[in-house]
Amino acid sequence: MRTWTTIAVLAAALASGCHRNPPQGEQPAHGAAPAPPASSVTGQPDDGQWLMASKDYANTRYSGLGEITTSNVKDLKLAWSFSTGVLRGQEAAPLVVNGTMYIVTPYPNILYALDLTKPGAPLKWSFKPKPSAAAQGVACCDVVNRGAAYADGKVVFNTLDNHTVAVDATTGEQVWNATLGDINRGETLTMAPLIVKDKVLVGNSGGEMGIRGWVTALNLKDGSQVWRAYHTGPDKDVLIGPQFKPFYASDRGTDLGVSSWPPDQWKIGGAGMWGWISYDPELDLIFYGTANPGPWNPELRPGDNKWACTVFARRPDTGEAVWAYQYNPHDLFDHDSINEHLVLDLQINGQMRKVLVHPERNGHMYVFDRQSGEVLSAKPFAFTNTATGVDLKTGRLQYVEEKKPSTGKVVRYICPAEPGAKDWQPSAYSPRTGLLYFGHQNICEDMEGLEVSYIEGTPYVGANVKMYAGPGGHRGEFKAWDPVNGTIAWSIKEQFPVWSGTVVTAGDVAFYGTMDGWFKAVHARTGDVLWQFKVGSGIIGQPITYKGPDGKQYVAVLSGVGGWPGAIVSGNLDPKDPTAALGFVNAMSDLPAYTTKGGTLYVFSL
Amino acid sequence: MRTELVLIAAMAVAVCGCKRETRTFRESPPASMASDVAVSDLHPGGGNPPARSISPYEQNAWALNEGKRLFSAYNCSGCHANGGGGMGPALIDDEWSYGHEADQIYRTILEGRPNGMPAWRGKIPDAQIWQLAAYIRSMSGLAPKDAAPSRSDHMNGPPPENAAPRMIPKNAGTPPAAER
pLDDT (0 to 100) of residue B22: 80
Of B78, B83, B173, the CB nearest to A459: B78
- Res. B25 pLDDT band, cuts 50 70 90: confident
Range of the structural domain that residue A221 is part of: 2-605
| Total of domains in chain A | 1
**3-state class (DSSP) for residue B88:** coil
* Rounded CA separation A293/A209 (Å): 10
Task: Please give the pLDDT value at position B2.
Answer: 64
- The Cα of A591 is separated from the nearest Cα of chain B by a number of Å equal to 15
Question: Annotated catalytic, A208?
Answer: yes
- Give percent of chain A above pLDDT 90: 92
Least confident of A37-51, A114-128, A129-143, A340-354: A37-51
Q: What is the least distance, in Å, from the CA of B119 to any CA of chain A?
A: 10
Q: For testing the chain B interface, which of A570, A579, A596 should be mutated: the one with the most B CBs within 10 Å?
A: A579
* Residue A492 · residue A558 · CB < 8 Å: no
Partner-chain residue, chosen from B81, B90, B117, that has the shortest CB–CB distance to A137:
B117
CATH architecture, range B52-174: Orthogonal Bundle (1.10)
Q: Is residue B172 within 8 Å of B88, Cβ to Cβ?
A: no
Please give the Cα distance from B10 to A573 (Å, whole number).
47
Smallest Cα–Cα separation from A157: which of A197, A112, A187, A100?
Answer: A112
Identify the bridge partners of residue A83 per DSSP, sorted by sequence position. A600
* Angstroms from B49 CA to nearest CA on chain A: 28
Which among A466, A573, A574 has the least Cβ separation from residue B155?
A: A466
pLDDT score recorded for residue A8: 47
Angle at A8 between CA A6 and CA A11, to 5 degrees: 105
Residue A253 reports pLDDT greater than 70:
yes
Q: Residue A458 and residue B75: Cβ atoms within 8 Å?
A: yes
Mean pLDDT of A100-108: 98
The half-sphere exposure of B38 on its side-chain side, counting CA atoms within 13 A, is: 10
> pLDDT for B145-179, tens place per residue?
999 999 988 999 999 999 999 999 998 876 554 34
Q: pLDDT tens digit string along A533-568?
A: 999 999 999 999 999 999 999 999 999 999 999 999
A87: domain CATH number is 2.140.10.10
User: Rounded to whole angstroms, how far apart are CA atoms A495 and A92?
Assistant: 23
In tens, the pLDDT along A163-200 reads 999 999 999 999 999 999 999 999 999 999 999 999 99
Catalytic residue, chosen from A142, A208, A304, A423, is A208
Averaged confidence pLDDT in chain A: 94
Question: What is the spatial distance between Cα A306 and Cα A143, in angstroms, rounded to a whole number?
Answer: 27
Per-residue pLDDT, averaged over A370-387, amounts to 98
Question: At A25, is the pLDDT very low, low, confident or very high (cuts 50, 70, 90)?
Answer: very low
Across the interface, whether the CB atoms of B90 and A452 are under 8 A apart is answered: no
What ipTM score was computed for the predicted complex, to two decimals?
0.90
Per-residue pLDDT of A511-520, as tens digits, reads 999 999 999 9
**Between chains, do B85 and A85 touch, taking CB under 8 Å as contact?**
no
Task: Look up residue B29 and give its DSSP letter.
Answer: -
| A351 C-beta neighbours (distance < 10 Å), count | 7
* A596: contact with B, CB 8 A cutoff: no
A292 as an active site residue: the answer is: yes
Question: Is the pLDDT at A437 greater than 50, yes or no?
Answer: yes
**How do beta strands A553-559 and A544-547 pair?**
antiparallel
Chain B contact for A410, CB < 8 A?
Answer: yes
- List chain B domain ranges: 52-174
Tell me the chain B residues in contact with residue A143 when contact means C-beta distances shorter than 8 Å.
Answer: 176
Among A235-244, A245-254, B144-153, the least confident range:
B144-153
Q: Is the pLDDT of residue A42 over 60?
A: no
Judge contact between A455 and A568, C-beta under 8 A. no
Q: Which residues of A touch B88 (CB under 8 A)?
A: 137
- Round to whole Å and give the CA distance between A476 and A456: 35
* Residues of chain B found within 8 Å of residue A410, distances taken between Cβ atoms: 155
Task: State how beta strands A62-63 and A503-505 pair.
Answer: parallel
Residues of B in Cβ contact (< 8 Å) with A567: 86
Residue pLDDT, tens place only, A456-489: 999 999 999 999 999 999 999 999 999 999 999 9
Query: For residue A331, is pLDDT > 50?
Result: yes
Q: Where are the alpha helices (DSSP H) in A83-232?
A: none
% of residues, chain A, pLDDT over 70: 93
